[in-house]
């Protein structure tokens, strides 16, 4: 699957909103595509900077989604008589 990552195809304000609307999986796929493209080293400087900025925004979005999911899981575990408040859940 190929992703189009033209850095200025979406105006910055709309790009930020578009990131907020992405699922975790969608954001992660786009982030992986950006990393791959940057690792190839065939992108000019300005496009590299734009891709890097987009990648940082996608990374932050993914982290937010993960923290939200972790919080939801903690509530489920606590509600099921799991670890007491203040105890950390073990993560793999």
Rounded to two decimals, the pTM is: 0.69
85 phi and psi, to 5 degrees? -55, 135
User: 54 pLDDT band (50/70/90 cuts)?
Assistant: very high
Angle (CA) 48 51 55, round 5°: 135
Measure the CA–CA gap between 77 and 51, rounded to whole angstroms: 38
Question: In a 10 Å sphere around its CB, with 0-12 CB exposed, 13-18 middle and 19+ buried, how is residue 6 labelled?
Answer: exposed
What pLDDT score was predicted for residue 9?
A: 52
């Amino acid at each position: 699957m190929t992703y189009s990552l033209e850095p200025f195809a979406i105006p910055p304000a709309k790009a930020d909103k578009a990131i907020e609307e992405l699922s975790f999986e969608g954001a992660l796929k786009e982030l992986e595509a950006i990393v791959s493209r940057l690792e190839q080293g065939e992108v000019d400087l300005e496009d590299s900077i734009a891709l890097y900025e987009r990648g940082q925004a996608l990374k932050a979005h993914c982290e937010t989604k993960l923290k939200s999911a972790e919080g939801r899981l903690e509530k489920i575990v606590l509600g099921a008589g799991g670890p007491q408040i203040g105890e950390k859940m073990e993560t793999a």
